[in-house]
Structure formats: structure tokens, C-alpha cells
Amino acid sequence: RTIPAVAAFITATLGEAYTEPPEFSISDVIKETTPTTPVLWFLRDGADPSIEIEILAKKLKQRMLCLSMGAGQESAQWEMAKKALESGAWVLLQNVHFGIPLALKLQEYLEDLGRAESIKIQPEGRMLITSEI
């Protein structure tokens, strides 16, 4: 009850522009990132960009690998993600339980990719993550 009441107060006081989420284009987000800059979407009811990402990938004829993290498969999934980035694919890690351990692992992983001379990441590769709040 508090959130709707606060939203109504802000709308009445400052205007609707302060309570409506800003529009954004997934295409613009992709253009503004690099292969070693992950994009993280926090999911909420009715708001999951996964389908839009898949549609954009098809439209751009971009290869994409979708992975659900967990169930003890993390090392295999990180390896698959690395190979996909090396080939220029987009990697979509879905429904990740994002927290400090995963953030540290992701940071370490992307820093290693950026430093490794033997790994040639293609510029069109992207790391995309969806996570429940």
C-alpha cells in the first residue's frame, strides 16, 4: 500500500514523468556496451526483456546462447559463455540469483577475458544477464 500511495503523491506533486519508467531501447543498450561490459536487467512481474533480446538477435542475425545458471553447472556454463563471446555471440544468463558471490565471479571472469592474450573476444559479443530481485 505504501508504494502506490507514494507514487500517487509524487504524480500529484511533481507530475507523471517522475513515476513512469523511462523508455529505453535494447538495441541502444547493446550499441553502448562492449563484450566485457555486462548488461544486467532486474526482473519484476511482467517485465522480462529476454524475448525482446531474442527478437533483436534474430533481426540482427546475431548468434545467441541462452544459459540458466545454477544446479552445479556454473563452471561448464562459464566455459560455454567464454567460447560464445570469443565467437562474437551474445550470451544471455537467465534468472541468475544475483548477489555478491556472483558479482565477484562475473567481475573476475570478465577481467580475465580482457587480460588474456590468447583469447580474442569478437567486438559483437555481449554478456546479458537477467536476475530476479
DSSP 14-70: H-GGGTSPPP--HHHHHHH--TTS-EEEEEBTTB-THHHHHHHHHHTT--EEEEE--
Pairwise CA distance, residues 20 & 11, whole Å: 9
Block means of pLDDT (10 residues each) for the chain, length 133 residues?
86 88 85 86 81 94 85 71 86 78 76 71 87 77
Which residue bears the cell 523511462? 22
Rounded Cα–Cα distance for residues 94 and 129 (Å): 6
Backbone torsions φ then ψ of 103, nearest 5 degrees = -60, -45
> What's the pLDDT at 28?
92
pTM given for the model:
0.73
CA–CA dist 6, 13 (Å, integer): 10
